[in-house]
A and B are shown apart, each in its own frame.
Chain A
């Protein structure tokens, strides 16, 4: 995650890398670039605060998966839980949250070797939000092009640009996949007092 001043939009901005999340009620922009990853934007209209995460699943749902995807997918659960906790800590309630879902394209699947990962990521986000009774008020998902999204936290407005995936996005995705492979089956840290 890094902060910078966006000269085009004339606002302080926070750029999220895969695996990160950010919640704010300030007049800034939270932005990220998505290939097959998914970003869920949440908004609490009472707090006038919004947050964004950026994740992909560490596991693939298979026909042999028992029951819900939640039973195998801890990393997606973590990405959503961490984002929602950012709201709860500010005094929000799940019942007030609204969601928008972005990403999950098939743009980078040929280099990763796994198929349907974008579709799996979208399905997970939808299933999670449904289980939490958080309404999805808008989405722009799937397709075969990458996206850059800009979230304005105070209004929950989102600007979206479709982009061609560059080498930077490919490197970012490969690095994130490697990290996910490393954490699969590991953790988390535990301490007995």
Chain B
């Protein structure tokens, strides 16, 4: 069965781009347009991996990660942060919130897929 990856980003263009790459590499995808939408859609939905942006309206990515880690469903779901942010302090916030890894944009297709494969094993 294909693995399912949730993409959380407030940019239609980024979701479209990431979803295209993932589908080309055999993954199923789901999409959410901000942290709150992500929490709503992931409430009772198990996925294999979550990819999230940081700066989003309604709920930012790091707060979403914290809240997902407090749920039984996503306590251990791998979460990669995909963002333009590269400051050490924000990365530390992501790590403390429970993110599994961090990828800085602009990213190459190969880097994204190789990182996902490392995480999913």
Contact = CB atoms under 8 A, between A and B. Distances in A.
A77 B20 CA distance: 14
A70 B55 contact: no
B49 to A, nearest CB: 12
Interface residues on B, range: 20 to 34
Contact of A190 (B84, B94, B101): B101
A84 interface: yes
B14 interface: yes
Contacts of B86: 189
A94 to B, nearest CB: 6
10 contacts: A70-B20, A71-B16, A82-B84, A88-B57, A93-B57, A94-B57, A185-B108, A190-B104, A190-B111, A193-B101
B12 interface: yes
Interface string B1-34: 0000000001111101100110000000000000
Contacts of B94: 193
A113 interface: no
A188 B103 contact: yes
A187 B95 contact: no
B105 A77 contact: yes
A74 B57 contact: no
A92 B115 CA distance: 31
Interface in A118-142: 128, 131-133
Contacts of A131: 12-13, 16
Interface string B91-107: 10011000111111111
A132 B12 contact: yes
A70 B102 contact: no
B70 interface: no
Contacts of A132: 11-13
Interface string A87-131: 011000110000000000000000000000000000000001001
A80 interface: yes
Given A81-B14, A82-B84, 8 more contacts: A88-B55, A185-B108, A187-B104, A187-B107, A188-B107, A189-B103, A190-B102, A192-B100
